[in-house]
Structure 1
Amino acid sequence: MGRTRTYEWEDPTLLAASVGHTSGLDLLRELQAGRLPAAPVSATVGFSLDEAEKGHVVFSLVPGEEHYNPIGSVHGGIYATLLDSAAGCAVHSTLPPGMGYTSLDLNVKFLRRITVDTGRVRAIGTVVHSGRQTALAQAQLVDATDRVLAHATSTCMLFPLTTP
């Protein structure tokens, strides 16, 4: 029997227009409080921003069948999306107004499978090092008992934003 999933998202230009006008941490806190719309990918995948501190963010997801690959567990792309979001936003949380970032790479290690029985998972991102032009961040995907399910590192390029 077929299953259906319906979801909504806000206009992504509202969030994009806010980037760079405040510090990265302030932007993330506005997202967390619901005063700015979440990125559409969070609605598509179904994850949320739970914590935002300087150099540290946490996203969470309750895995569902809609996240499954053909072998009956959560697809690696879902792991990677959560880890990339956590690592990148950890970097974003350290940026002053007028600065932006983009991911240069993402290296993911898958350690354990995730199914609907796993329950809520958290992607915890932290900044390892931040320089003038690049930042290194890591993220761990953990279950409710803090068992590590996957680990990632990401290098991000930092750059000044231009205003129109």
Structure 2
Amino acid sequence: MSPSAPDQLDTPTPADGDTSRRREFTWNDPMVTALGGINLDGMAALQAIMDGTLPAPPIAHALGFELVTAEPGHATFAFEPAEYHYNPIGSVHGGVFATLLDSAAGCAVHSMLPAGVRYTTLDLNVKYLRAITVGTGRVTAVGTVTHLGGRTALAEARLLDPADRLLATATSSCLIIRPA
């Protein structure tokens, strides 16, 4: 839906009162990606997801977002807001913001890790600045590593609308998990 299109909540209710919607999606076994990337450095694993050599993780299909760029220390995700992202007050749920920001920050860290080294988010601090609706248009989450240490990493992420207005920001600390 284009940014100038009317919000789907303004669609007239059918005569029978049924306002239900339906959405279906498919995904691959997540272990295909996890095991397929285990012997790749982080940058190569992210590239394999982007080029389709490895399938995107199920969360990307569930929320409808995609990894669009990755380079050492940086990762960018994008998604088109839809009704299925909405909370009860008629805008995109904050958990979707947080998931995109966490993905961008985490994958920025992943892009700098050698083969066999993993990470997990220790904490995520999100600041919400503007609402997102289906009329917002394609949104991007840009993650950047600010510190990569031996045991932890710090990253920040910014959620931007098509006009590069800041919608939300996050800081994340990640635990670096090295093989025993």
TM-score by length of 1: 0.97
Instruction: Give the equivalent residue in structure 1 for 2:20.
Output: 2
1:34-66 Cα offsets, whole Å, 9 max, x none, are 110100000000000100100000000000000
Does residue 138 (structure 1) correspond to residue 152 (structure 2)? The answer is no
Report the Cα distance in structure 1 between the residues aligned to 2:155 and 2:174, rounded to whole angstroms: 8
Give the match's secondary structure for 2:25.
coil
1:95 lines up with 2:122 in the alignment = no
Offset of residue 93 of structure 1 = 0.3
From 75, 81, 101, the equivalent of 2:93 is 75
Structure 1 residue corresponding to 2:38, chosen from 20, 23, 47 = 20
Equivalent residues, number: 162
Could you tell me which residue of structure 2 aligns to residue 115 of structure 1? 133
Greater fraction of residues in strand:
1
1:52 is the counterpart of 2:70 = yes
* Aligned-partner Cα distance in 1 for 2:157–2:118: 20
Q: What amino acid does structure 2 have at the position aligned with 1:56? A: H
In structure 1, stretches of 5+ residues that fail to align are none
- TM-fit CA distance, 1:111: 0.3
| Inter-partner Cα distance in structure 1 for 2:166 and 2:43 | 26
Q: CA RMSD in A?
A: 0.8
* Alpha-carbon separation, structure 2, partners of 1:19 and 1:158: 16
User: Larger deviation: 28-37 or 17-26?
Assistant: 17-26
Q: Which residue of 1 aligns with 2:145?
A: 127
Which residue identity is paired with 2:64?
G
Q: Is the 8 A contact 1:100 1:159 kept in 2?
A: yes
Q: Does 1:38 align with 2:56?
A: yes
Letter in 2 for 1:161: P
Cα distance in 2, alignment partners of residues 29 and 95 from structure 1: 13
CA contact (8 A) 1:65 1:116 kept: yes
CA distance in 2 between partners of 1:38 and 1:98 (Å): 19
Do 1:20 and 1:161's aligned partners in 2 also have CA atoms closer than 8 Å?
no
Instruction: Determine if the alignment matches structure 1 residue 29 to structure 2 residue 43.
Output: no
Aligned counterparts of 1:156 and 1:20: Cα–Cα separation in 2: 18
Residue type of the alignment partner of 1:135: A
The 8 Å contact of residues 55 and 127 in structure 1, kept in 2 or not, is answered as yes
Q: CA deviation at 1:161?
A: 3.1
Pairing 1:65–2:83 present: yes
Deviation string for 1:103-136 (max 9, x for gaps)? Answer: 0000000000000000000000000011111000
Q: Percent identity?
A: 55
Give the CA deviation at 1:19.
3.2
